[in-house]
Amino acid sequence: MYNSQLPMDGSNAPKGTSMGVGAFEPRTDRHGNERIRILLKSYGLRTSLIRLKVIDALLTAAESDRSLGVRGVHSQLLELDIPLSFLSVREVLKRLCIEGVIVLNPDKSYSLHPQAAAILRNP
């Protein structure tokens, strides 16, 4: 019987290797989506992929002592092969600002609100 998951050359894949490599392989996020989910829930916001990725991009930039504006966040997401439009990123950043999760700095960059940062440190 034909099994589409087995190699076609008749050999067996080595034990411990994943057949589902690539787009279907689960990726472990550096900051843990669960912490960001808790943060969004504490602000009464639903979890969405774009919110998770935008907040993760801001956290990654903060760890590197960099600041990101709308273009920087959008560029970082494109580098990670997350195809979101510039307008979508801008709208998510505006909404997160309105809700108090992030703040718009005088230099037009975004950062996590100190209260939100505290929630991420102590979920």
Say if residues 98 and 110 touch (Cβ distance below 8 Å).
no
- Euclidean distance between CA atoms 45 and 113, whole angstroms: 15
Map out the domains of the chain with their CATH numbers. Answer: 33-121 (1.10.10.10)
61-101 pLDDT per residue, tens = 988 889 999 999 999 999 988 888 999 999 999 999 999 99
**Tally of CA atoms within 13 A in the half-sphere of 122 that contains its CB:** 3
CB contact set of 26 (below 8 Å; sequence gap of 6+): none
Residue 21 has pLDDT above 80, yes or no: no
What's the pTM? Answer: 0.71
The Cβ of residue 85 has, within 10 Å, a number of other Cβ atoms equal to: 10
69 touches 50 (CB < 8 A): no
